[in-house]
Amino acid sequence: MFNLPPPEILLQLSLNGALGGAMYGVAAVGLSLIFGTMRLIFLAQGAMIILAAYFVRALFYGLGIDPFLSLLIVVPVGLVVGWLIYQGLFRKAAAEEDRNVSLLIAVGLMFLVQNLMTVIWGGNTAGVVTSYTATGIELLGVRTSFTRSMGFLIALAGTGLVMLFLRKTIVGKAVRAASEDMDAATLMGISPHRVNAIAFAIGISLAGAAGVAVATTFPFNPFAGFIFSLKALVALALGGIGNVTGALAGGILLGLIEAYVQFFISGGWTNAIAYGVFLLVLMFKPEGLFSRPYKKA
Amino acid sequence: MSRALQWIAVLVVAALALLPFVPGAVDAYYFSFLFFVFLYAIMAQSWNLVAGYGGQISLGSHAFFGLGAYTTAILWSGNYLWGSLYDAHPGMYYFDPVTMLFGGLVAAVAAVFIGLPLLSKLHGDYFALGTLGFGEIVKVLFVNGGDFTGGAFGIVAPASAFDTLRPHYWVALGLMVATALAIRALMRSRYGLALIAVRDDEMAASANGIDTLKVKVAAFAGSAFIAGVAGSLYTYYIFHVGPDSVFDLDWMLLPLMMTVVGGTGTLLGPILGALVMYAVFDLARIVVPDYHPVISGLTIILAMLFLPKGMMRLGVMQRRKSA
């Protein structure tokens, strides 16, 4: 057996894992909303996050807008883009019974976005380096990077806003009703196209917020998005599909698992173990780790 | 399939089989193009069996393709099958039916192992997600497989120089035809009816005494077998089998796309889809090399927006409308 490392290293690991995992979480919240209403695995989510990251980078180097300030631009743009993506690409497919069609449109969109980014910005790794990129801060007695902590805050705030929207507004309630039972919701006068479009708009604007976090923290390239989509799916399954706070918690848990596996076993096994946990959860606790099992009527 | 269509199919296959005898054909560009169309058509049939006829959307075909490719490369480079015979006949592993069969079997056994728990517990999208996760796990296992799998670099098959594509072409054509005929026979059997019954209404099928799990796992394993053989075939073409090449997600996404464009749950749809989509991709690669993946993405989106039921169903819909 291995020796347990000193507590400050454990704390450090946990903190970094949780902070990194929050980014998977915010991507998973977006996936969760889209999956909830449309039953669509939106594989292009990761590509949209990277697209947002490139957009943030262009704003920073082109116009000198601070990456965190650019949230004010990226999030509204994301809302509009998400709405347009739904109306232009998925509206017809959503009515189709064969859900392969929407899945494939998502795959096509992923190809398209990835390769457009390559054409525009080249295939090399890019990053955003600001005056505070290398700055560290003290948190709970451990040092961590400022940008990672900001990413965590963005994830928390994003999820919190979505929660408020779903719980407190009438439109949010309609989205929740549609995720639970689209047929019943339609009978109550909820337009499926409107809730789907809203889910997409919020999902893509969350991708925008995640893009800000990614751009400031990691180097990225046009093809980094797909791994993000997969990780977000894992986070989604851990948290319970259709459970918004669960998705964020699932992301944080995934970040922790990755950090521990990297430290105690080896970096090469992180993905296998993350997906192994994913399969086990899907099989034995498909409602997610954080929700009480409920009986279907 | 109507009688006329059957004759057309026989004639087309015969013409394709004789093509390598046309002077200059082997060196022409379209020769390797056709080889890839056949390879993708086999993969598309594999996906169509489990998803089109069986209704279980699998996102793990690339794992089975890679398993078949690796099995072939490992058996060959380690000479695990033929011992001293191999020294006397250095070309022995080339398109060796036993090696290729092993490629398919390893994939099929893996499919049974993963299919039993997944298919008994997971339905619909959850099954799709599970197979996607399975594919990633297999890839990591091969990256970390040490000397046995060659790690991140993979394995180079001990092949002599490549002189002609002819045998590849014939084997691929033969396998494509064999796959289509086998699936045709299968779907006309009792088992095929059971599979369609499970797809259309699992509850009703089970109420009529069909062991739904067995039927679904068999379709999953059959699909994996076909993908494994296709992977084996690809090893003879590429020689270097690495985790990033044979476990590439494209080996799942492209056949899926071809099947849906051609028509899921039809016999000729996957072949037609493979031909048309691969032609579009390849044309884009030649005409606009810098933008070709962009064009591919656009094509998928457009095909899905305007042809969601696939090309094979186009005729059916029009006939119904006019009737």
The residue whose two tokens read 């976090």 is A213
Asked if A233 and B300 come within 8 Å (Cβ–Cβ), the reply is: no
Delimit the domains of chain B by residue range. Answer: 35-248
Strand (E) or helix (H) holding B236: helix B212-238
Indicate whether A295 pLDDT > 50: no
Average pLDDT, stretch B34-52? 95
Residue B284 — pLDDT band, cuts 50, 70, 90? confident
pLDDT of B316 strictly over 60 = no
Rg, Å, chain A Cα set: 19
In chain B, the residue whose alpha carbon lies closest to the alpha carbon of A122 is B290
Q: Which residues, 6+ apart, have CB-to-CB distance to B128 below 8 Å? A: A41, B57, B58, B59
Count the neighbouring beta carbons within 10 Å of the beta carbon of residue B218: 22
Say what the pTM is: 0.87
Residues of A in contact with B305 (CB under 8 A): 89, 92-93, 105
Sequence-distant (6+) residues with CB within 8 A of A174 are A185, A190, A194, A195
Pairing of strands B155-156, B240-241: antiparallel
Cβ separation of A104 and B143 shorter than 8 Å? Answer: no
By Cβ distance, the residue of A41, A96, A226 closest to B129 is A41
Q: Which of B53, B57, B120, B132 to mutate to test the interface with A (most CBs of A within 10 A)?
A: B132
Tell whether B264 is within 8 A of chain A (Cβ). Answer: yes
Q: Is A135 or B217 the better-scoring residue by pLDDT?
A: B217
Q: Which domains does chain A have, with CATH numbers?
A: 7-123+144-284 (1.10.3470)
A108-144 pLDDT, tens per residue? 898 889 888 888 888 788 888 777 777 777 766 777 7
pLDDT at A142: 73
CB pair distance less than 8 Å for B130 and A116: no
CB B183 within 8 A of CB B44: no
A100–B297 CB contact, under 8 Å: no
Nearest-by-CA chain B residue for A102: B304
ipTM of the complex: 0.80
Token pair in block for residue A244: 């918004």
Q: Which of A158, A188, A159, A162 is nearest to A174 (CA)?
A: A188
Neighboring chain A residues of B144 at a CB cutoff of 8 Å: 268-269, 272
Dump pLDDT digits (tens) for A151-198: 888 888 888 898 888 888 888 888 888 887 888 888 888 888 888 898
Q: Looking at residues A20-48, what average pLDDT do you find?
A: 87
Q: Per-residue pLDDT tens for B150-204?
A: 888 888 887 765 678 888 899 999 999 999 999 999 999 999 999 999 998 889 9
Partners of B136 on chain A (C-beta within 8 Å) are 230, 271-272, 275
Helix (H, G, I), strand (E, B) or coil at B155: strand
Amino acid A268 reads: G
DSSP B30-99: HHHHHHHHHHHHHHHHHHIIIIIIT----S-HHHHHHHHHHHHHHHHHHT-SSTHHHHH-TTTTTT-HHH
Q: Which residues contact A81 (CB under 8 A, 6 or more apart)?
A: A204
CB B255 within 8 A of CB B57: no
Model pLDDT for residues B120-158, shown as the tens digit of each residue: 888 777 888 889 889 989 998 898 887 788 888 888 887
CA neighbor of B212 nearest in space, from B224, B200, B222: B200
Mean pLDDT over the full length of chain A: 84
Residue among A93, A269, A275 minimizing CB distance to B133: A275
Specify which residues B155 forms β-bridges with.
B241
